[in-house]
Amino acid sequence: MRLFRLTLTTILLRKAWVICALCVLVIPFVLPWISSASEKPVLIQPARIQAAWSTLWIVTMLWGYFTAAKQGETNATSGTGEYFLTTGLGATRQLSEIWLAVFIFILPMALATAAITQFAASPSDPAERTMWWTLNTQYLVLFLLVTAPLLCLAAALASRFGSVAGYVTTLALTLYGLYGVGYLDNLLKLEQNPILQGIWLFSPHYHFADLTQRLYFKSGALPTTAFWKMTVYFLGILALWSGISRLAFRTKLSS
């Protein structure tokens, strides 16, 4: 785990993660009170839910993907990857350790977000509070299933095409899966198009993993069958991105 420790130390020393952690911990409590929600106390908890999960998504997309891409590029261009190859650390292991070093920062932030919505924005009704545990757990699992392989993809693409390409590609995929697919679906409802229908069908439907509105409106936990279907679906995407990441990843500059 030498590359993991090196990458982890590098990220720690840059200290940008401190700002991200503070955003995740502070914004959900501060933002509702400086917004219009403060005029109606009943809106404070829904606003806190919105702020908490939105902050986590933004931090992951802006800092998480960028950090993964930067580390992937540095490993290939600085000679670090080539050095570890000579010590017997293969490309797959190197990619895994770079990914883990970044993911280990995202995981606590995700857990903190789930804890904030669980303990600082839970319903007062006992029946709804029981459901809250299930819904928060479902959201946490789906969020990690979506973002974990994208962190790996960012590092892999950056090692081959540069950090900008790796970051922008993963950011675009996430935004498209969260929002663009919905716009495409609305377009198809107005006018059927076989080509667009095919694009929509094979698109990553990340919006399924965004359960913020279910928390906001207290819609209840996902049915068990639906949750497991979504889990299997995102595991399939995880396998696809993992395969592409391994093919794209390189440990040194091309000769």
Q: CA 239 to CA 89: how far, in whole Å?
A: 22
> Range with the lowest mean pLDDT among 34-38, 96-100, 168-172?
34-38
The pair of three-digit structure tokens given for residue 55, joined into one six-digit string: 């902050």
Integer Cα distance of 143 and 111 in angstroms: 11
On the question of pLDDT at 255 being above 60, the answer is: no
pLDDT above 60 (res 43):
yes
254 pLDDT more than 80: no
Best mean pLDDT range from 45-54, 135-144, 194-203, 211-220: 135-144
pLDDT level of residue 60 (50, 70, 90 thresholds) = very high
What percentage of the chain carries pLDDT values higher than 90?
Answer: 81
Average pLDDT of the chain, as a whole number: 93
Q: Which residue has the higher pLDDT, 162 or 38?
A: 162
DSSP 152-193: HHHHHHHHHH-HHHHHHHHHHHHHIIIIIHHHHHHHHHHS--
Mean pLDDT score, 204-223: 93
Tokens of 231: 């889990």
Cβ atoms of residues 177 and 206 within 8 Å: yes
In the predicted structure, residue 41 carries a pLDDT above the cut 90: no
Q: Mean pLDDT across the stretch 5-15?
A: 95
Which amino acid is located at 237 in the chain? I
- For the range 132-138, what are the long-range contacts, defined as Cβ-Cβ under 8 Å and sequence gap of 24 or more? 134/221, 135/211, 135/214, 135/215, 135/220, 135/221, 135/222, 136/215, 138/211, 138/221, 138/222, 138/227
- The residue extents of the domains of the chain are 2-248
pLDDT at residue number 184? 92
The Cα 64–Cα 154 span in angstroms is 9
**Token reading at 194:** 């076989």
pLDDT score, position 123: 84
What is the secondary structure of 49-82 as a DSSP string?
HHHHHHHHHHHIIIIIHHHHHHHHHHHHHSSHHH
Give me the phi and psi of 192, to 5 degrees please: -70, 135
- Model confidence at 139: pLDDT above 90: yes
User: Which residue, chain included where needed, has tokens 């093919």?
Assistant: 247
Instruction: Please give the pLDDT value at position 81.
Output: 94
8 Å CB contact between 151 and 99:
yes
pLDDT score of 103: 98
User: Got the DSSP string for 81-110?
Assistant: HHHHHHTT--HHHHHHHHHHHHHHHHHHHH
9 — pLDDT class (breaks 50, 70, 90): very high
Residue with the larger pLDDT of the pair 233 and 218: 233
**Tokens coding 34:** 């400086």
Q: Residue 107 pLDDT more than 60?
A: yes
- Residue among 206, 230, 221 at smallest CA distance from 118: 221
Least confident of 120-129, 148-157, 178-187, 226-235: 120-129
